[in-house]
Structure 1
């Protein structure tokens, strides 16, 4: 018997292309900061610090106590959940979707984003994704063996993707284009006119539009994010992801849905039926309660007012400390250009070094912009996931750090 002398690796090469290593690295920095005695203020990961409304928790707690709640759920989502999601789409956006064929329940929108390329593409296909972008956008392509064509989000364009910059040959080859308004890490916002142009181009080139609307309920200053399915004809060529994590503080529950083009919805549903058994029924019941509450709520209810106040308090506090950053119109994130002293030159690693040194020097954790793509260099993402008092303390520490190291 012959044995190989070389040691086989049991780690896929694809893992290095998933883009999540920086989050593990920041977690290690936080541990190092804590071990050194620093009180860590974590403005890195965008995990809501609030609990769901009491009514939602009550529905969940009652459902988990029922003996009949522990059979396998439907992989496509319960009929009740899909009907309620369709009713919410109608109430919130004026959009009609078929709960039978145009909605599929997900274990959070990231679940769907991670699997959709596997469902609608073949290895070697091409997809258009934003840079900077949420890491799973490009990570999902690596999993599926799909090529990425990155569409840069530039400050000179107000971070709005320039659709006219996409060459015809890219449109011709692309299976889908994935965008998010408002986005993560940059809370770029657009109106329906922009959406209409996107749909026109997608229909011209027979490209699927994937719209990630995870932050639909986090608009500020009177702005309310729009659904791409509001565009006439969008059902022919678009799907949209919705999440309960940020909108209803249900991040740990892991529930969301995709809706829109029935062929794409069906493809994801078919793939998911072979991967898992769907979302735990009591969580779906809690999500139904959340949607029902949202449909009855007034204009000033929901999560948006909390994050708008935090945004205003924190950005004003940073300005008093000498760091002026742009005020986002939506989401729980601030996309901040590095302070002038740290943003000289064009070299890589500036945002990484700043985030590392800031955390170990002050205990304030932020995410380097380069974690979201090459165009993110020179920026950091700051999550508004602490109470106002802690945000003020974070701004004070940052100001002290900048004065000492500027």
Structure 2
């Protein structure tokens, strides 16, 4: 039996190759420091786990869930957005429950586009953004995210034809892979741009809790008129270390939310009710665990940046997320440098070109190991002697 045409067209899973290389090295008995992953390394807070245990013990949660999710969770989402961002969300019509944000991001083009339509994707960007266009039979153009623009798209530089044909746009701040953050001024411009060109906006707010240097990341829905043009996806994976629980939600424009819910009526019977109850508890309960986690990532970021600068690696400190976007030294492509670090230093990183054409010249490093392992990774890279010339330049 042959795969369907759509499945044959799906992009190769970028991280599969990296995982294979890392697993091969580990199987050979090598002590690999894996900085290429995006999987939170700490457990879900105990009080949330306990809430799940109690909910799972209740026979009422063993039945089929409501198709569009439990009102208890939707109300918790509404409470969360009001408390954290002063944004009013109608729990009945402006929330869609998702089995992970990836599900929503991949299925959204099926909800609002027709075959042959165009959408805009960030470059570099989360590789799974590419799956939705294939499944929906739509095309996409890319928006370059350049360091000189603080990794924000410059709408003025997009060709007129691209702006004219685009019907959907994805954004993601704090950004994966660059660690950049967006301002309310940028989101206000985005709303205006979307209205002028009749473009639906999707903001992937997966790292919304992870801002550094005292700057809280901005929600797209805080921009005036945002709900008129788009929605925001939020996941509990990063905020509460609940990656394996697969629980997220979309909030915002009620027509888009209805479209998501309608599609999901035909695909899913929502999430295990006990998971929904525990997720509601996580959103409503004491948030000190979130601040503790954010502080851990900021401390790890500081260690990475300080150590990299010490060896002459001129890096830019990320403002959010749990990733750092580091320039590749002269003489290497992104893939060559990634392979070199794994082969010669047993340090695994994600090659920047895997995130798009404009990811070339960078690698992505995850802040998902303890500080001492980050220090050890930089010491191993230092021993390769790659950055000695850079140190000499600074000393001169």
Matched residue, 2:304: 314
- Partner of 1:111: helix, strand, or coil? helix
Deviates more, 1:11-20 or 1:64-73: 11-20
Aligned residue number for residue 329 of structure 1: 319
8 Å contact from structure 1 (residues 19, 136) kept in 2: no
Contact 1:19/1:135, CA 8 A, preserved across alignment? no
Between the aligned partners of 1:404 and 1:172, the Cα distance in structure 2 is 46
Match of 1:236 in 2: 228
Task: Tell me how far 1:16 sits from its aligned partner.
Answer: 4.9
Are positions 1:396 and 2:389 aligned together?
no
Q: SS in structure 1 opposite 2:238?
A: coil
**TM-aligned CA distance change 1:289 to 1:93, over 3 Å:** same
Alpha carbons of structure 1 residues 15 and 337: separation in structure 2 relative to 1, 3 Å: farther
- Measured after TM superposition, the shift of residue 86 of structure 1 is 0.6
Deviating above 6 A after TM superposition, structure 1's stretches of 4 or more consecutive aligned residues are: none
Distance in 2 between residues matched to 1:158 and 1:176, nearest whole Å: 22
Query: What's the counterpart of residue 342 of structure 2?
Result: 359
- 1:27-176 to structure 2, matched below 5 A, reads 27-176=19-168
**Cα displacement (A) at 1:314:** 1.5
Deviation of 1:327 after TM superposition, in Å, equals: 0.3
- Greater shift in the superposed pair: 120-129 or 23-32: 23-32
- In the other structure, the counterpart of 2:264 is 272
- Using the size of structure 2 for normalisation, the TM-score is 0.94
Can you list the C-alpha shifts for 1:376-401, whole angstroms capped at 9, x where unaligned? 11111000110111111111112113
1:347 counterpart residue number: none
Q: Who is 1:18 aligned against?
A: 11
SS across alignment from 1:197? helix
Quickly say closer, same or farther: Cα 1:39–1:84, change in 2 above 3 A: same
- What TM-score results when the alignment is normalised by the length of structure 1? 0.92
The offset of 1:11, in angstroms, is: 5.9
Q: How many residues align?
A: 389
1:189 aligns with 2:181: yes
Unmatched 5+ residue regions in structure 2?
Answer: 390-396
Instruction: Report the Cα distance in structure 1 between the residues aligned to 2:290 and 2:4, rounded to whole angstroms.
Output: 49
1:168, CA displacement in angstroms? 3.1
Q: CA deviation at 1:404?
A: 9.9
Counterpart position of 1:303: 293
CA RMSD between the two structures: 1.9
Structure 2 CA distance for aligned equivalents of residues 243 and 35 of structure 1: 33
Question: Is residue 2:360 matched to residue 1:377?
Answer: yes
Q: 1:389 to 1:15 in 2, by over 3 A?
A: farther
Measured in 2, the distance between the counterparts of 1:317 and 1:32 equals 28
Is the Cα–Cα contact under 8 Å of residues 180 and 212 in structure 1 kept in the other structure? Answer: yes
SS at match of 1:246: helix
**Deviation for aligned residue 1:356:** 1.6
Shift of 1:13: 5.6
Match of 1:204 in 2: 196
Q: CA deviation at 1:302?
A: 4.1
CA distance in 1, matches of 2:288, 2:273: 28
Q: Is 355-364 or 214-223 further displaced after alignment?
A: 355-364
Deviations 1:250-290 (A, max 9, x none): 00000000000111111011111111111111111111121
| Among 204, 209, 212, the residue aligned to 1:217 | 209
The CA distance in 2 between the partners of 1:179 and 1:305, in whole Å, is 25
The DSSP-based 3-state class of the residue aligned with 1:222 is: coil
Comparing 253-262 with 183-192, which one deviates more in the overlay?
183-192
SS of alignment partner, residue 219 of structure 1: coil
For the Cα contact (< 8 Å) 1:18–1:140, is it kept in 2? no
State the partner residue of 1:346.
none
